[in-house]
Structure 1
Amino acid sequence: MQIPCDQQVFDVTWKGEDLWYATQPAPSDWKPAQKRFTEYSSYGVIEGEVVLTESRCGS
Protein backbone atom coordinates (compact mmCIF):
# COMPACT_ATOMS: atom_id res chain seq x y z
CA MET A 1 0.00 0.00 0.00
CA GLN A 2 1.52 3.33 -1.07
CA ILE A 3 1.42 6.04 1.62
CA PRO A 4 1.05 9.67 0.42
CA CYS A 5 4.49 11.16 -0.24
CA ASP A 6 6.34 12.96 2.55
CA GLN A 7 4.16 11.25 5.18
CA GLN A 8 5.72 9.06 7.88
CA VAL A 9 3.63 6.15 9.26
CA PHE A 10 3.63 5.96 13.06
CA ASP A 11 0.66 3.70 13.89
CA VAL A 12 -1.44 1.01 12.20
CA THR A 13 -4.44 -1.02 13.36
CA TRP A 14 -7.19 -3.27 12.04
CA LYS A 15 -10.77 -2.61 13.12
CA GLY A 16 -12.99 -5.39 11.81
CA GLU A 17 -12.57 -5.38 8.01
CA ASP A 18 -10.85 -1.97 7.88
CA LEU A 19 -7.18 -1.01 8.03
CA TRP A 20 -6.40 2.34 9.68
CA TYR A 21 -3.02 4.04 9.64
CA ALA A 22 -1.79 7.30 11.16
CA THR A 23 0.83 9.50 9.53
CA GLN A 24 2.66 12.70 10.30
CA PRO A 25 4.63 15.09 8.07
CA ALA A 26 8.13 13.73 7.56
CA PRO A 27 11.11 15.78 8.81
CA SER A 28 13.67 16.99 6.25
CA ASP A 29 16.28 14.36 7.22
CA TRP A 30 13.80 11.45 7.04
CA LYS A 31 14.46 8.37 4.91
CA PRO A 32 11.37 6.56 3.54
CA ALA A 33 10.90 2.92 4.53
CA GLN A 34 8.69 -0.09 3.94
CA LYS A 35 6.78 -1.15 7.05
CA ARG A 36 5.13 -4.54 7.48
CA PHE A 37 1.98 -4.94 9.55
CA THR A 38 1.09 -8.58 10.23
CA GLU A 39 -2.03 -10.01 11.86
CA TYR A 40 -1.73 -13.30 13.78
CA SER A 41 -4.59 -15.52 14.90
CA SER A 42 -4.87 -16.72 18.49
CA TYR A 43 -3.20 -19.94 17.26
CA GLY A 44 -0.07 -18.06 16.11
CA VAL A 45 -0.87 -18.42 12.40
CA ILE A 46 -0.45 -15.43 10.08
CA GLU A 47 -3.91 -14.27 8.98
CA GLY A 48 -2.82 -11.34 6.82
CA GLU A 49 -0.02 -8.93 6.07
CA VAL A 50 0.08 -5.41 4.65
CA VAL A 51 3.23 -3.65 3.44
CA LEU A 52 3.12 0.14 3.79
CA THR A 53 5.53 1.97 1.46
CA GLU A 54 6.60 5.51 2.31
CA SER A 55 8.14 7.87 -0.27
CA ARG A 56 9.45 11.37 -0.85
CA CYS A 57 7.52 13.70 -3.17
CA GLY A 58 9.25 14.08 -6.51
CA SER A 59 11.41 10.97 -6.16
Structure 2
Amino acid sequence: MDKSAYSKIEKGTRAITREWVKDYNQNRPHGSLNDYSPVEFAKQWALTVDNFSEVTHN
Protein backbone atom coordinates (compact mmCIF):
# COMPACT_ATOMS: atom_id res chain seq x y z
CA MET A 1 0.00 0.00 0.00
CA ASP A 2 1.14 3.49 -0.66
CA LYS A 3 1.31 6.43 1.73
CA SER A 4 -2.06 7.88 0.65
CA ALA A 5 -3.83 4.61 1.48
CA TYR A 6 -2.42 4.69 5.01
CA SER A 7 -3.43 8.31 5.34
CA LYS A 8 -7.02 7.49 4.33
CA ILE A 9 -7.15 4.61 6.82
CA GLU A 10 -5.81 6.86 9.58
CA LYS A 11 -8.35 9.60 8.83
CA GLY A 12 -11.19 7.08 8.78
CA THR A 13 -10.04 5.54 12.05
CA ARG A 14 -9.85 8.97 13.69
CA ALA A 15 -13.36 9.86 12.52
CA ILE A 16 -14.81 6.60 13.82
CA THR A 17 -12.97 7.04 17.12
CA ARG A 18 -14.29 10.61 17.53
CA GLU A 19 -17.86 9.42 16.97
CA TRP A 20 -17.42 6.56 19.45
CA VAL A 21 -15.99 8.89 22.12
CA LYS A 22 -18.82 11.37 21.56
CA ASP A 23 -21.43 8.63 21.89
CA TYR A 24 -19.74 7.17 24.97
CA ASN A 25 -19.38 10.51 26.70
CA GLN A 26 -22.83 11.85 25.88
CA ASN A 27 -25.28 9.01 25.34
CA ARG A 28 -24.25 5.79 27.04
CA PRO A 29 -25.34 5.17 30.63
CA HIS A 30 -22.55 5.19 33.21
CA GLY A 31 -22.78 3.20 36.43
CA SER A 32 -21.02 5.97 38.34
CA LEU A 33 -23.86 8.34 37.34
CA ASN A 34 -26.69 6.07 38.56
CA ASP A 35 -26.94 4.60 35.05
CA TYR A 36 -27.72 7.98 33.50
CA SER A 37 -25.90 9.14 30.42
CA PRO A 38 -23.66 12.12 31.13
CA VAL A 39 -26.13 14.40 29.31
CA GLU A 40 -29.10 13.09 31.35
CA PHE A 41 -27.10 13.35 34.56
CA ALA A 42 -26.15 16.96 33.83
CA LYS A 43 -29.81 17.84 33.20
CA GLN A 44 -30.90 16.19 36.45
CA TRP A 45 -28.10 17.87 38.37
CA ALA A 46 -29.02 21.28 36.94
CA LEU A 47 -32.65 20.79 37.98
CA THR A 48 -31.57 19.76 41.48
CA VAL A 49 -29.30 22.79 41.85
CA ASP A 50 -32.04 25.13 40.58
CA ASN A 51 -34.59 23.63 42.97
CA PHE A 52 -32.16 23.76 45.88
CA SER A 53 -31.37 27.38 45.08
CA GLU A 54 -35.07 28.29 45.09
CA VAL A 55 -35.62 26.60 48.46
CA THR A 56 -32.61 28.14 50.16
CA HIS A 57 -33.09 31.67 48.81
CA ASN A 58 -36.82 32.03 49.46
Category of TM-score, reference length = shorter chain: under 0.3
Q: Which has the higher contact order (CA 8 A, sep 6+)?
A: 1
TM-score by length of 1: 0.18
Higher helix share: 2
TM-score by length of 2: 0.19
